[in-house]
Amino acid sequence: MNPLIKICGITSKDDYATCFDAGATWVGMVYYPGSTRHLNLARLADIATCGLAMGPNAPERVLLSVDIIGEALAPLIEAAQPNKLQFHGNEKPDDVAAIKAQFGLPIIKAVAIETLDDLDQCNKWHSLADWLLFDAKVRKGFQPGGTGHSFDWSILRSYKGHVPWMLAGGLNEKNIAEAIRISGAKAIDVSSGVESKPGVKNSKKIHAFIQATQLA
């Protein structure tokens, strides 16, 4: 079975269409003003409308936010019409539990990895998250994801939890086969690895990445 693929940080309807054509499972829509991939409410709504028009086979929309909790999420969800929510900050389990109860959407929780000990973070999410996303740990003050940094993929062989997970961080068409072989990943998340420059997705790179993943 081919790995599931999430193209994160799309910024246009054309990006969405490319992901659909290339065979992506999910697209990530970023609401984080510190990112070059940030989408305001109007752009979230525009892309969501495009996705809905594509029909039921379109890639699912994942709304990515950072440390936005409670009612502050409501206008984002109304605009983006997401199938899943992704939390990429320092959200607390109680906050995420309340969000899940209120909105009824599946949750992806990003977990920053640098050493084997970082897998201990997973325990507090096992009853809340529908997916974990393992990404490279970055220094404080840096963008929390989509930076192109990677980590030691072999660490993930030690993950024994029951929650399914995605591999992220520094992936591209040239290293994805090795990343899958070493980590055992069954789902993949990519952003900067399919861009011409930060925040600008490249259609050819998206197709090449997905093809390389399917051949891995």
pLDDT of residue 143: 55
Please, what is the average pLDDT of the chain? 94
- What percent of the chain clears pLDDT 70, i.e. is strictly above it? 95
Amino acid found at 47: I
Profile the chain (216 residues) by mean pLDDT over runs of 10 residues. Answer: 95 98 98 95 97 96 96 97 96 96 97 96 96 86 59 96 96 97 97 95 98 93
Q: Cα–Cα distance between 157 and 154 in angstroms, integer? A: 6
pLDDT of residue 98: 97
Domain range list for the chain: 4-215
Q: Does CATH number 1.10.3720.10 belong to domain 4-215?
A: no
CA proximity to 39, closest of 7, 69, 13, 71? 13
pLDDT of residue 216: 82
CA 136, chain centre distance (Å)? 13
pLDDT of residue 144: 54
pLDDT of residue 155: 97
pLDDT of residue 138: 75
Task: Tell me the pLDDT tens digit for each residue of 144-200.
Answer: 555 567 899 999 999 999 999 999 999 999 999 999 999 999 999 999 999 999 999
CA proximity to 209, closest of 67, 22, 1, 2? 22
For residue 26, the cross-strand partners are: 6, 60
